[in-house]
Amino acid sequence: MDTGTRVECQWCKSQNTPDARSCFTCGAPLDVRNLVSDSGWREAPRLRDMTEIHFGRSTCQVEGEIVPVAEIALGQGDWVYFEHHVMLWKDESAAMSVMPLGGGIKRAFAGMPFIITVAQGPGRIAFSRDATGELVVLPLHPGVELDVREHAFLLASHSIGYSFVRIKGLKNILFGGQGMFMDRFVAGNEQGLLILHGYGNVFERMLQPGESILLEPGAFLYKDASVTMQVETQRLSSGLFGGTGMNLARMTGPGRIGIQSMYVHHHTDD
């Protein structure tokens, strides 16, 4: 293959043909400048209305911009999984089933969905989440492990393994804004597609080994499994009134982290 004539997607690093306007694998526009803030945050690519993304024998078309819809045309033998309440509509032909999950009782107590639903092709099925925001398309290369805040994932393709990890430390559970568990997605031997919904705008940043940043915990969207998270409390004292405590999550590299600008506000003791 003559790689010299290929165009690399700045978001997912996939190679595309020179005439492509958007990335075949993640839908990011290829003819638009990458938006990176001076502080190093890269804005998730603004997907053009009706952009098509390809995985396996299937395609995903992104429709709308304020609350975008992911419409999947599933090829024969392909399947996707999702939380059932994000389903918008489906063809009758798309077969539905439930993914067997371990730790059902733990998940139920933690407020996570008790079941993950599966739709199998051929057929069309569409998804959206009921909030203003962006679809974050993350093609996962083999071996990549990604942790995602609960209820943020919209759908994943069949080649991506799903599990969940317990958040360690009582303080992280109580004040981390994520609950008790995070979803973990692992790409096996084959590349797969993971689509998240971020509230508001979504930004990504790569942390170097040992580099850390403090986040509003509700803003956390996803991270590489190699990034650690530790909640810290900062007292804001105001003398007579005692003040308040502000909890911030210290994220330490190496790896990427993704945040959303319309965050899920977490508890503070004010």
Examine residue 234 and tell whether it contacts other proteins (CB under 8 A): yes
The amino acid at 125:
I
243 belongs to the binding site for other proteins (CB under 8 A): yes
- For residue 30, which amino acid is it? L
Q: Does 263 bind other proteins (CB under 8 A)?
A: yes
Q: Rounded CA gap, 233 and 227, in Å?
A: 20
Determine, following the binding rule CB under 8 A, whether residue 219 of this chain makes contact with other proteins.
Answer: yes
Q: Cβ neighbours of residue 4 under 8 Å, at least 6 residues apart?
A: none
Nearer to other proteins, 78 or 204 (CB): 204
In angstroms, rounded to a whole number, what is the distance separating the alpha carbons of residues 115 and 82?
9
Non-local CB neighbours of 73 within 8 Å, separated by 6+ positions: 58, 59, 60, 61, 121, 124
- Candidates 20-28, 90-98, 179-187, 206-214: pick the segment binding other proteins (CB under 8 A): 206-214
By CB under 8 A, tell whether 87 contacts other proteins.
Answer: no
Residues 18-57: x/- map of binding to other proteins (CB under 8 A)? -----------------xxxxx-x-x--------------
- Six token digits for residue 187: 């790409």
Contact at 8 Å (CB) between 135 and 72?
no
Distance CA 32, CA 226 (A): 30
**Residue list 122-141, contact with other proteins (CB under 8 A):** 132-134
29 DSSP 8-state letter: B
Residue 80 or residue 135: which is nearer to other proteins going by CB?
135
Q: Does 152 bind other proteins (CB under 8 A)?
A: no
d(CA 31, CA 17): 12
Dihedral sign of CA atoms 52, 79, 222, 141 in order: negative
Choose which of 4, 102, 143, 239 interacts with other proteins (CB under 8 A): 239
By CB under 8 A, the count of residues binding other proteins is 42
- Nearest 5 degrees, angle CA 246-CA 257-CA 157? 125
Least Cβ distance, residue 182 to other proteins (angstroms): 19
Comparing CB distances to other proteins, the nearer of 8 and 269 is: 269
> For other proteins, which residue of 1, 105, 170, 240 counts as binding (CB under 8 A)?
240
CA 72 to chain centre: 17
Residue 209 binding other proteins, by CB under 8 A:
no
Residues that bind other proteins (CB under 8 A): 35-39, 41, 43, 66, 132-134, 199-201, 203, 212-216, 218-219, 234, 236-241, 243-244, 246, 248, 250, 259, 261-265, 268, 270
